[in-house]
Amino acid sequence: MKRFLFIMAILCVWCVPFTYVKAVSNVELQDTSRFEHIISKGDTGGGDGKYIELSTVKDVSTSGSTKSIEAKIYVVLPSSDLIREYKVRYDYDLNRSFANMVAKAPELKIRLPDFSLNEIWNIKMMESGIVGTVLNQQDYTLNGESKPTQPPLKGYENVTFLTPTDFDFESYHVANRVFKMVYGTFYDDVIR
């Protein structure tokens, strides 16, 4: 009986799923069949940059008026010997796309006689229509070795240059690029 219990215990340990972290190196990020380099305003040209892992970009929408996309985005910081992997979810309010707001401008002009198209820019500055959330992050060295990842400080979980997505800032351009990868058009060109 003891032998049977021992064998069952070993089988149970074998069947326990292990979480496997696949490290990514800077060399791997150059593989254009797996990763797309995002040309970024913040790139210095010293080997830094942002990369989207193409196989991870997926539509996870549950609503018709809001599109949601998840993706893994890697940020390379060579001076710190660091690659930071972010799993991000972007939620896009289709009613807040620039093209949709311009299409609705005549209705607004009737209700608000002083309304002008310049106001749309101000509205987008207050609420861009895209919300970004960091779901997970992992750190690696440039050679692809896993590094201990510190959790973000309380209250700063989503403060990165990928989120929040303020209109016309770096994070907004990244989110717009991810939207185009899934839907073939930029978020601000969508009319509902």
Provide DSSP, 15-33: HSPPP------HHHHT-TT
pLDDT class for 2, splitting at 50, 70, 90?
low
pLDDT class for 141, splitting at 50, 70, 90?
very high
CB atoms under 10 Å from CB of 163, counted, come to: 21
pLDDT class for 122, splitting at 50, 70, 90?
confident
> What is the chain's mean pLDDT, rounded?
83
pLDDT class for 121, splitting at 50, 70, 90?
confident
Q: What is the pLDDT of residues 29-49, one digit of tens each?
A: 989 999 999 876 666 666 678
Looking at the predicted structure, is the pLDDT value of residue 102 above 80? yes
Looking at the predicted structure, is the pLDDT value of residue 108 above 90? no
CA distance 107 to 138: 47
Vertex 62: Cα angle to 56 and 68 (nearest 5)? 40
Please tell me the pTM assigned to this model.
Answer: 0.81
CA distances from residue 100 to 67, 136, 162 in whole angstroms, order as listed:
14, 32, 24
CA distance 117 to 112: 12
